[in-house]
Amino acid sequence: MEAAGTVWLGGWVRVAVALVVAGQTMSFALATNLSPPEGRTYWLLQAGLMLGAGVVLALLAGPLLRESWIALRARRITVDLLFLVTLAGTLAVSVYGSVWRRPTVYYDLVAILLAIYTVGKMLGARSRARALQAIEALRVEHDRCVVVMADGREETRSAGAVVVGEWVRVPAGGAVPVDGRVREGRGLVLTTPLTGELEPAAFAPGDTLYAGMRSVDGVFLLEVTAAGGARRLDAMLGEVAAARLKPSRVQLEADRLAARFVPLVVGVSVLTFGGWLLAASLDRAIINSLAVMVVACPCALGLATPLGIWSGLVRLSRLGLVARTGDLLESLATADVVLFDKTGTLCEPELAVRALAVLPGAPMSPTDLRAALAAAEAGVDHPVAAAVRRLGPDGEGGPVFRQLEARVVPACGIRARIAGPDGARVHEVAVGEPAWISTLVGADVPTAGARREIAVAIDGQLAARIELDETPRARAGAVFARLAALGLPSVILTGDRNFPASVWPDIPRRTGMTPEAKAEEVRARQARGEHVVYIGDGLNDAPALAAADASIAVRQGADLARSSAMAVLAGESLASLPQAVVVARDVRAAIRSNLWLAAGYNAIGMAVAGAGWLHPVAAALLMAGSSIVVSTRVLRAGGGRAAGVATAGVDADA
């Protein structure tokens, strides 16, 4: 991580130095073109300009030369080669101007184009590196195995060194490092990384645990069925890594355009040189052919397109959507459907108490009961315990209970001893599964048929029943409606098998989805020609996030989900998603129209230059003019409509 950060910092330092040199070179080049000095001063100035260009080339040109050489060896014409041809032409024009005292000195443009190229490459590499670092961190987290030998000895090994058939011990609260069948032990296991479910599930002998899960309260002995490298977790991480290493859609599209544009520019320039060499002189042939090269500089692709992309990304960041790649704009703009994870994405990431029913004969008042429950669950690392703790009385003046002891009963609940407000009386509190509480009190626990219920016993008496559930995000319904108004249907994919139909009844949903099934749903829709946006938060969403055309992770989600996604929602609201689609569509429309505008502009410019009616100085001015025009158009894209949608969104959610 430290080495990657050093490389990243070094890259920005090189870009900063190059831009400083470019600024100085621009000033002197402009003075030279307008009023060339005489004698030794002229040659000293030209030497300084050449040295400045040489410094920039030494700092930034290495990656461009390597990528271009790789493309040439593979017989591919790419944007890298397009940049190289443009830089070579610009440098040739400048050297020609220096030697022949022509006002065609553009060494500053070399620095600017190289800086644009370098920044784009660095941002793409940074995004990939972060995802791969998150993958490696997750592998390390689930790599330590405690292997139980036949004679009872324990040996710590890496997951990759464990053999199928060996036994591995998973401690209470520990991560599951291998895929294996439970041979001994019972308890609750948090399966969230693979299923997305917040509530732990009970596991017993005969059940299968997978790497990536975590024991909540039980100690398990697993018979290994898949060790490091062959685990279900490894397959998921492999999918994410493979997706992050693929070339971006923007890059591929730019390469296709470059494959047509580069030969055209070179061909016109060569024909211009040959025609004027026969018709006039070498000097005229050089000037006109170089004018073709200068006027054909790929402004829309090399300047306005990146500028439009990063301008759009800035607008998205103002909406609370922090993007890592310009691909997000293209993918959002062309999206056909939005797939949502449920738990942690459409619902709050924590369980909440829906109801607390104090039962007849309870030994405490409702106020005392809430305070007693908060004390009993203090320090217990469990999603249900966290929800119950929030039942505690707010503010001052309420009863104060103090936990003396707490013991987790695997797959059942907790038993705690708490001291009362006066400190004299000690209460025995049990909180957990209704069936377990029934055995403690010797009576059946009445249930309300809720999705998740627990019961409370105090001093051996049945005291309360608690209903728990997820909390749907308040603005999710409005987001679905605004996306539909933009022509984007929404679909919910969840690992929850009991997701009630009464929640967002008009939105299609698929339940009981594994991580692999979510990713397969994305790929199936893509095979039908759909462009898919996926929004999720968990490790179980990472394969789908990596496979989708556009992927957005929720800020509170897993590290791998955030690293796998193209963007992260900085806040907790989903309300910015429709606005982001509007911005993306407007920026894409501006970029597309600029490509056509620049193509026509360059075609006319090359024709005029080829005819000998355009001096290189005028060609440079036209090139700069086209850059200003397309840059201004693309910077204006998306602002007004996005603001309108934002206002509508606030009104709708108020």
Q: Provide the residue ranges of all domains of the chain, joining segments of one domain with +.
A: 1-141, 144-227, 327-347+473-570, 352-469
Above 50 in pLDDT, residue 52? Answer: yes
**Across 166-186, average pLDDT:** 92
pLDDT digit string (tens) for 89-134?
A: 778 877 877 787 776 677 776 776 677 667 656 655 665 566 567 6
Alpha carbons 345 and 337: distance in angstroms, whole number: 17
Q: Per the structure block, which two tokens stand in for 345?
A: 């994405």
Where does 486-529 have alpha helices with state H?
515-527
Average pLDDT over all residues of the chain? 79
Q: Could you tell me how far CA 533 lies from the centroid of its own chain? A: 12
State the residue for tokens 């090189």. Answer: 14
Pick the CATH number of 144-227 from 3.10.20.310, 1.10.287.470, 3.40.50.2300, 2.70.150.10: 2.70.150.10
What is the dihedral sign for C-alpha 283, 287, 288, 293?
A: positive
pLDDT exceeding 70 applies to what percent of the chain? 75
Above 70 in pLDDT, residue 458? Answer: yes
Task: Calculate helix-pair angle for 107-141, 39-73, nearest 10 degrees.
Answer: 40
**Across 53-73, average pLDDT:** 82
Beta strands in 41-86 (DSSP E): none
Q: Give burial (CB, 10 Å; 0-12/13-18/19+) of 289.
A: buried
Task: Calculate helix-pair angle for 282-295, 616-635, nearest 10 degrees.
Answer: 0
Fold designation for 352-469: Calcium-transporting ATPase, cytoplasmic domain N (3.40.1110)
Lowest-pLDDT choice from 211-220, 245-254, 410-419: 245-254
For 180-224, the DSSP string reads EEEEE--EEEE-HHHH--SS-EEE-TT-EE-BTBEESS--EEEEE
pLDDT for 104 equals 63
> Does pTM top 0.85 for this prediction?
no
pLDDT for 620 equals 60
**Across 621-633, average pLDDT:** 67
Q: What CATH superfamily classification does 327-347+473-570 receive? A: HAD superfamily/HAD-like (3.40.50.1000)
Strands 337-341 and 490-493: parallel
Determine how many CB atoms are found less than 10 A away from the CB of residue 434: 17
pLDDT for 10 equals 55
Q: Which DSSP state fits 56?
A: H
Question: Residue 322 — pLDDT band, cuts 50, 70, 90?
Answer: confident
* Amino acid found at 394: D
Alpha carbons 365 and 358: distance in angstroms, whole number: 8
Q: What is the helix (H) or strand (E) element at residue 245, kind and residue range?
A: none
The b/e string for 28-63 (b: 16+ C-beta within 10 A; e otherwise) is bbeebbeebeeeeeeeebbeebbebbebbbebbbeb
Alpha carbons 620 and 600: distance in angstroms, whole number: 17
For residue 551, give every residue at least 6 positions away whose Cβ sits within 8 Å of its Cβ, in sequence order, or none.
Answer: 533, 534, 535, 536, 544, 545, 564, 565, 566, 567
